[in-house]
């Protein structure tokens, strides 16, 4: 669900977990810079006076909003960031619709023309329905033709020369042993359910597994497979995936960067998977000079090798067939889309399919993110906005430097290395300095599926072209119209897109406390990722260099472990004490969310310091009866304001490295002494971790 098209073994760290979208109708059209709807800097009538902020700060700030804000039927969650994304989507939707309406008058093959043609092809449901599943028939025919074991490898190689529809994905990323050069990176698309935890034999998983089995059966019958045979094939595919799960790393292991970033030579990879020849794999894609590459989750590939050597060919075919259909179901005729929606309904709890325009817009956002982003920025984000945001990033970075200098547990030599890394962080703010060139992308009016296939190939070719070349740390892998923020561990960069630099998080009319508590805490969060449990293992360029003295590393670990224990003991899903998070029933939520929790805590502390360093803070009095420090925390808690369906929350705590939003408020402020001071809390209050209980890292 990440829009990033780059295959990254360490995904960019997002500041928020998966967002779903809802619709807010906005008035006004036009191509000049748009007026945003009026937003109060902070409306204190939102606060729940019946809740003591020292008892439950999240409820104090957000419960009134939660009670008044139902979750729209087509989404799994609604929150302040979702509302911001809706506004960005409304703007990009108007851009795409406008281009589609004016297609005849636009210059053929200009970026805007391509946006309009792609969007219109995605909106043409009757044409898409008429084609049924024609677009995937050639691939299904190739799978049907597999007769013997050696044909399996031939199919996988053939598939790789196209668009990586099943099993393997190939891209480029900074070499994890030397971040200055890009290296080939192979990842897997092994499973159809969100993560390995869903496949465990546990009564709690039974509904999802049954729903998934039925989904596969329905997809197969829609391609003409008789019902009885479809049931058999669906069962074979699930059995195959369960075998894969046995070899796949757990979600909490996947957040441990060291375990998934392994560079292997082609010869070593061939030893790891004797049943699959990696030389042939790269040669088939004209990558004859590749002699080493990144293999994500080597345990998984070891498992695939066993399956290549021993799983029945018919079972392989059932797996491949169903996974081609899963991958493309959302782009085929209505029966496939309905089946796909029924599964997401089961997994996310949504009651209504999203409107067509959201899917069409997603296609444009995925295939031409920069082209759409350039037009979005023209309407929403000025050069002056960029300048202001860069100044704010600079202030937060300076506050982080001061914090590093002041921590008592770290020695002077390690501090010097940390400060050097901090100074080397590349901040990508608002929009890229250099936009991507789409002149080589062929978009044809009326050919939705063909457009997606050509766009995916265009993107893959661009990825492969980077292999062996120097890493460009200024390249964007998120779009400006994304309401999110990122830290790139493999190249030591932060990305703060234009769409998150908007009210109410970043509001030119708000007092500084609101902006530092809002966007400031998010920028601080991304900067802190450079020094979380993963980030600290890399140097100024993102290369794995241990710049810590053993004693400093021990001190860090003791503090991080304490934070892990704290989060392990929180209740995660209200009313469901049986849901512990982690996977396979183990109680490891604190490990799964460790890096994000460190960044949340560091982000708030850094932003709070930055506010105190500003002259405005000392000179401004109370507003609506709240001091600047109080308003800072109110604004911070508001960034996590959301309502989430229970089904989605359960999925989140089993695989998302971010804690649920209420914990991202209460778990954080309890470790921030200035919070208790601001609200006059007592040492024994729930929102205060006093004495030994206090965790202090950055
Ligand atoms: Zn993060």
Q: Tens digit of pLDDT for each residue in 128-154?
A: 999 999 999 999 999 999 999 999 999
405 alpha carbon to ligand 1 midpoint, in Å?
23
> What distances in angstroms separate CA 395 from CA 167, 415, 498, 600, 604, one per listed residue?
45, 19, 18, 18, 14
Task: State yes or no: pLDDT of 8 exceeds 90.
Answer: no
Backbone angles phi, psi at 360, to 5 degrees: -65, -45
Tens-place pLDDT, residues 79-107: 999 999 999 999 999 999 999 999 999 99
**CA torsion, ordered 249, 253, 257, 258, to nearest 10 deg:** -80
Q: Which residues constitute the domain of residue 487?
A: 13-26+42-88+381-459+471-693
Between 9 and 619, the more confident residue is: 619
CB-CB contact of 483 with 503 (8 Å): no
CB-CB contact of 51 with 63 (8 Å): yes
User: What pLDDT score was predicted for residue 258?
Assistant: 53
Average pLDDT, the chain: 89
Tell which residue, 621, 381, 358, has the closest CA to residue 497. 381
Q: Which of 34-43, 260-269, 622-631, 655-664 has the lowest mean pLDDT?
A: 34-43
* Residue 356, in any domain of the structure: no
- Who's near 406: CB < 8 A, 6+ residues apart? none
Q: How many whole angstroms separate alpha carbon 113 and alpha carbon 98?
A: 10
675 alpha carbon to ligand 1 midpoint, in Å?
21
15 alpha carbon to ligand 1 midpoint, in Å?
4
Q: Are residues 211 and 307 in the same domain?
A: yes
Q: Is 680 left (phi over 0), alpha (psi -120 to 50) or beta?
A: left
Q: Are residues 304 and 239 in the same domain?
A: yes
Q: How many whole angstroms separate alpha carbon 280 and alpha carbon 99?
A: 43
Q: How many whole angstroms separate alpha carbon 96 and alpha carbon 119?
A: 6
Give the HSE-up count for residue 332: Cα atoms under 13 Å, Cβ half-sphere. 22
User: What pLDDT score was predicted for residue 508?
Assistant: 85
What is the percent of the chain with per-residue pLDDT over 70, rounded to a whole number? 90
- Who's near 672: CB < 8 A, 6+ residues apart? 601, 604, 605, 608
1 alpha carbon to ligand 1 midpoint, in Å?
16
The mean pLDDT of 564-587, rounded to a whole number, is 75
Tens-place pLDDT, residues 495-529: 999 999 999 999 988 999 999 999 999 999 999 99
Top-ranked range on mean pLDDT: pick from 11-20, 152-161, 458-467: 458-467
* Residue 127, in any domain of the structure: no
User: What pLDDT score was predicted for residue 196?
Assistant: 79
User: What pLDDT score was predicted for residue 23?
Assistant: 26
657 alpha carbon to ligand 1 midpoint, in Å?
8
Q: Which of 47-51, 493-497, 605-609, 622-626 has the lowest mean pLDDT?
A: 622-626
Adjacent-strand bridge partners of 262: 295
Q: Are residues 138 and 78 in the same domain?
A: no
* SS3 annotation, 227-244: HHHHHHHHHHHHHHHHHH
The mean pLDDT of 113-117, rounded to a whole number, is 98
User: What pLDDT score was predicted for residue 582?
Assistant: 57
Tens-place pLDDT, residues 522-549: 999 999 999 999 999 999 999 989 999 9
Tens-place pLDDT, residues 576-597: 877 776 554 455 789 889 999 9
496 alpha carbon to ligand 1 midpoint, in Å?
12
Return the DSSP state at 518. I
User: What pLDDT score was predicted for residue 245?
Assistant: 83
Q: How many whole angstroms separate alpha carbon 297 and alpha carbon 273?
A: 13
Q: Are residues 684 and 564 in the same domain?
A: yes
Q: Are residues 150 and 234 in the same domain?
A: yes
Query: What is the number of structural domains in the chain?
Result: 2
Q: What is the domain-level CATH number for residue 221? A: 1.10.1380.10
524 alpha carbon to ligand 1 midpoint, in Å?
10
Tell which residue, 435, 436, 427, has the closest CA to residue 496. 427
CB-CB contact of 258 with 250 (8 Å): no
Adjacent-strand bridge partners of 573: none
Tell which residue, 516, 519, 485, has the closest CA to residue 505. 519
Picking from 331, 347, 370, the residue at the C-terminal end of a domain is: 331
Q: Are residues 493 and 565 in the same domain?
A: yes
């Amino acid at each position: 669900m990440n829009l990033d098209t780059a295959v990254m073994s360490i995904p960019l760290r997002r500041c928020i977990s998966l967002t779903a979208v809802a619709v807010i109708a906005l008035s006004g059209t036009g191509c000049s810079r748009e007026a945003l709807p009026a937003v109060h800097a902070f409306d204190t009538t939102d606060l729940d006076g019946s809740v003591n902020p020292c008892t439950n700060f999240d409820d104090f700030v957000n419960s009134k909003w939660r009670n008044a804000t139902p979750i729209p039927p087509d989404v799994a969650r609604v929150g302040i960031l979702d509302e911001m994304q809706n506004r960005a989507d409304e703007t990009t939707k108007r851009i795409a619709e406008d281009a589609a309406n004016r297609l005849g008058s636009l210059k053929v093959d200009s970026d805007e023309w391509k946006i309009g043609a792609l969007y219109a092809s995605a909106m043409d449901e009757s044409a898409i329905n008429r084609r049924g599943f024609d677009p995937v028939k050639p691939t299904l025919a190739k799978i049907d033709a597999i007769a013997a074991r050696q044909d399996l490898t031939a199919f996988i190689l053939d598939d790789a020369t196209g668009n990586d529809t099943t099993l393997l994905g190939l891209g480029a990323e900074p070499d994890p042993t030397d971040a200055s050069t890009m290296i080939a990176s192979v990842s897997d698309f092994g499973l159809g359910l969100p993560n390995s935890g869903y496949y465990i034999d546990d009564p709690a998983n039974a509904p999802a597994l049954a729903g998934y089995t039925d989904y596969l059966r329905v997809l197969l019958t829609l391609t003409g497979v008789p019902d009885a045979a479809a049931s058999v094939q669906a069962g074979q595919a699930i059995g195959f995936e369960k075998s894969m799960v046995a070899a796949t790393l757990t979600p909490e292991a996947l957040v441990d960067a060291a375990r998934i970033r392994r560079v292997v030579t082609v010869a070593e990879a061939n030893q790891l998977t004797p049943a699959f020849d990696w030389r042939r794999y790269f040669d088939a894609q004209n990558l004859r000079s590749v002699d080493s590459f990144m293999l994500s989750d080597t345990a998984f590939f070891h498992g695939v090798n066993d399956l290549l050597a021993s799983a029945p060919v018919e079972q392989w075919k059932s797996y491949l067939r169903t996974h081609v259909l899963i991958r493309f179901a959302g782009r085929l005729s209505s029966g496939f889309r309905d089946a796909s929606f029924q599964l997401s309904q089961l997994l996310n709890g949504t009651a209504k399919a999203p409107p067509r325009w959201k899917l069409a817009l997603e296609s444009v956002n995925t295939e031409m993110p920069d082209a759409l982003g350039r037009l979005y920025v023209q309407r929403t984000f000025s050069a002056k906005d960029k300048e202001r945001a860069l100044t704010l990033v600079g202030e937060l970075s300076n506050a982080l430097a001061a914090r590093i200098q002041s921590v008592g547990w770290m020695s002077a030599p390690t501090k010097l290395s940390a400060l050097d890394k901090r100074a080397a962080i590349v901040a990508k703010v608002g929009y890229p300095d250099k936009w991507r060139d789409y002149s080589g992308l062929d978009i044809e009016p009326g050919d939705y599926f063909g457009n997606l296939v050509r766009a995916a190939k265009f993107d893959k070719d661009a990825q492969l072209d980077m292999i062996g070349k120097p890493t460009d740390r200024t390249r964007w892998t998120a779009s400006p119209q994304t309401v999110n923020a990122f830290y790139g561990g493999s190249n030591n960069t932060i990305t703060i897109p234009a769409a998150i630099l908007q009210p109410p998080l970043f509001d030119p009319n708000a007092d500084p406390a609101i902006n530092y508590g809002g966007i400031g805490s998010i920028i601080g969060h991304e900067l802190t990722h450079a020094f979380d449990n993963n980030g600290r293992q890399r140097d100024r360029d993102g290369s794995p260099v241990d710049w810590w003295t053993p004693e400093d590393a021990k001190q860090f670990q003791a503090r991080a472990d304490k934070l892990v224990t704290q989060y392990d003991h929180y209740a995660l899903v209200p009313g469901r004490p049986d849901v512990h998070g982690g996977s396979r029933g183990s109680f490891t939520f604190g490990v799964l969310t460790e890096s994000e929790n460190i960044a949340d805590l560091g982000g708030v502390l850094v932003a709070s310091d930055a506010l105190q360093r500003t002259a405005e803070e000392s000179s401004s009095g109370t507003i609506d009866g709240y001091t600047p420090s109080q308003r800072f925390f109110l604004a911070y808690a508001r960034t996590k304001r959301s309502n989430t369906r229970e089904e989605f929350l359960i999925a989140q705590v089993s695989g998302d490295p971010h804690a649920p939003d209420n914990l991202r408020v209460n778990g954080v402020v309890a470790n921030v002494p200035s919070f208790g001071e601001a609200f006059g809390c007592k040492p024994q209050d729930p929102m205060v971790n006093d004495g030994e209980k206090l965790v202090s890292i950055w």
